[in-house]
Chain A
């Protein structure tokens, strides 16, 4: 079983709409979370990180984290066709092993 689960697997939103992506860990040793974006044929690039409970906003992107439930969500408002990509959630384990555990991702398609 994946230690980091993402939902939905895929998502279609209209241009200008809101996209909401979810990520949950089943491992209580998970500590910090990152969101990566991977455009088709490219490498993953870090989008946002969140380390403590609450919300963090950067431009059109907002990340929430609930450490008690080990759930993080990424919200993209005013979605653009250029936001179409695979979104990967990654989590690190307490104790700093250096390893990140990646989910399988959510494929977002923004339709013009």
Chain B
């Protein structure tokens, strides 16, 4: 069964604190993604990773950075979190073929106070 995991599932931070969101997959997928989802704005791509240490900015990378040191693990880091980064964050993974399905993790609900 294809599985993408995310930790933590819920997180409350104060403005200015650092945030680490973690994502794992057990499918040996080359490509991994970080999205955020906000009402009225839909799913917005933050970063895409094509493999270990091969990361590219998505549509809204400002204020975020990523790390991928192992194929099965992809981290999203918020240095000095801001209140407007309160959102639901989804990780996803996909094989590299252009007809391959993208699988989503369960999401992390982040509240920045």
Residues of chain A touching chain B, judged by Cβ–Cβ distance below 8 Å, are 2, 31-32, 34, 42-46, 49, 51, 88, 90, 92, 96, 98-100, 102-105
- Asked if B84 lies at the interface with its beta carbon under 8 angstroms from chain A, I say no
Looking at chain B's contact residues, the main secondary structure is loop
| A96-B98 contact, Cβ under 8 Å, with A43-B107, A44-B43 | yes
Of A32, A42, A103, the contact of B99 (CB 8 Å cutoff): A32
| A49-B101 contact, Cβ under 8 Å, with A44-B90, A98-B48, A98-B94 | yes
| 26 residue pairs bridging A and B, Cβ less than 8 Å apart | A2-B42, A31-B98, A32-B98, A32-B99, A42-B107, A43-B90, A43-B104, A43-B107, A44-B43, A44-B90, A49-B99, A49-B101, A88-B42, A88-B43, A92-B98, A96-B96, A96-B97, A96-B98, A98-B31, A98-B48, A98-B50, A98-B94, A99-B45, A99-B58, A100-B102, A102-B43
- Asked if B105 lies at the interface with its beta carbon under 8 angstroms from chain A, I say yes
Give the size of the chain B interface in residues (CB under 8 angstroms): 22
Q: Write out the residue numbers on chain A whose beta carbons fall within 8 Å of the beta carbon of B48.
A: 98-99
- Asked if B64 lies at the interface with its beta carbon under 8 angstroms from chain A, I say no
- Asked if B61 lies at the interface with its beta carbon under 8 angstroms from chain A, I say no
Residue of B nearest to A31 (CB): B98
Residues of chain B touching chain A, judged by Cβ–Cβ distance below 8 Å, are 31, 40-43, 45, 48, 50, 58, 90, 94, 96-99, 101-107
